[in-house]
Amino acid sequence: MQPERSSSYKWILVASLSFVAFLNEIDRHAIYALFPLLEKDLGMSKIALGMLGSSFLWAYAVLGPQAGWVGDRFPRRYVITLSLVLWSLMTGLNGIATSGNQLIYLRVLLAVSEAFYMPCALALIAEHHGEDTRSKAIALHLSAMAVGQVSGGFLGGFMAEHFSWRTLFFMLGAAGIAYAPFLLLMLRPTARVVSSLERKERPSFLKAGRIVAHVGTLRFFAVAFVCYSIVGSVMQTWLPYFLFHNFHTSLTAAGFSAAFYLQLPTAVGNLVGGAIGDYFATRDYRGRMLVQAGSLIISAPFLLSMGMAGTVTMVALSLAALGFLRAGWPPNVMAVIFQVLPANLSATTYGFLNFLGNVSAGVAVAIASGLGARFGFGAAFASLTLIHWLAAAMLLIAAFTRLKKDFIAAPAEPVKILTHENHKN
């Protein structure tokens, strides 16, 4: 194996998966820009619209741990490609739905097929990168997801106003299926250097769960993950509706603005947060978690200002500040997992966190639909400030009371690319 080839491939891998992440977010979020139209065309109530978000999150959550375990037990390149094909098919089928209930069922199937992607993709990227580039690589992938959310919001509103929301789903489904063969060619087989912590036989699903549950750092980290998931899901689900009804924007403007002013700064913030996380991680074992906590503390007040804003301009400014400042969290999540658990449990761990985060987020989205109908969604958004601060508190407690005990002294090394010579040997 040539070192230069391995060094270049780890970034080619990030680029290949980033496009998948882009498609993933468009497929997932385009529907939120269609809420006012679905309310009219299919007669969906606010509770039913909220269920489009909640049903996805709950199904995604239920499959999270199993999906992560599958990614740790089987070749991740195949799991990722199959996930892409299946969720693209489910996206296309949205275009033939004739009732709100059918859309909800399809959202559940979309979630089931998408659940296998994120744990595998983040673990695969993290495996190919060392402690000095891990968060930066993940940040690039997450930034593509942020751009996908912007594109989903814009395309959802634009297609609904100028063409057909059904055509949108057909196009998105076809794009994912067409990309799948190319992706499989780009994802090469790899051989990871196995540490002493991983030389035992691969744990069963239940044993893996017990191992993860006994890591004290992850208990606090899981609460922070839940809080972050609640804030993001409530905003993503109800922001277009909030802008459309409170400020009388068009569907296109509501879908685009809800994503653009939050996710574009998030894309930039992810890159900054990843670079800062890598910088401090090489100087202090608590560096990544402190970056995450600081990011959540300073960004929380903008949830309050966004919810209480009286103009679209103030909403946009609050969203931009929030998106940029809270981005210290996402690119460092998998990197923190790699600090406290061996790499062969990384996808499983992320899957368990996804389970907790999405179950809680699904409940929060449903609660927000009721609060929004009674008090307005501005008040619901403002209340998320306290949830952000709770997440930061959990991270600080973990960083100063548990992380030192759980920290793996020698974090997992990057994987090696399998060449033809490797296979022969």
**Furthest-apart CA pair in the chain: how many Å?**
67
Distances (CA, A) of 374 to 284, 310, 367: 47, 18, 11
Distance between CA atoms of residues 60 and 122, nearest Å: 16
Count CB-CB contacts under 10 A for residue 186: 18
Cβ contacts of 27 within 8 Å, gap of 6 or more: 87, 88, 91, 110, 114, 152, 172, 173, 176
Provide the residue-wise pLDDT of the chain in tens; the chain has 425 residues: 333 345 788 899 999 999 999 999 888 878 877 777 777 777 777 778 878 877 887 888 788 888 888 888 888 889 999 999 999 999 988 888 878 788 888 889 998 899 899 888 988 998 888 878 888 999 899 888 888 877 877 777 777 677 777 888 888 899 999 999 999 988 877 654 444 444 445 677 788 888 888 898 999 999 999 999 999 888 877 887 778 777 777 766 776 677 778 878 888 898 999 999 989 988 888 999 999 999 999 999 998 888 887 788 888 899 899 989 998 998 999 889 988 888 788 888 888 898 888 788 878 877 877 776 677 777 778 888 999 999 999 999 999 999 999 887 556 656 655 544 444 44
Distance between CA atoms of residues 167 and 153, nearest Å: 15
Distances (CA, A) of 266 to 14, 73, 84, 310: 18, 32, 24, 23
Q: Which two tokens stand for residue 259?
A: 């994503």
pLDDT of residue 84: 95
Reported pTM: 0.74
Distance between CA atoms of residues 50 and 352, nearest Å: 24
Distances (CA, A) of 16 to 125, 139, 141, 207: 11, 14, 9, 33
Which CATH number describes the domain made up of 3-190+204-416?
1.20.1250.20
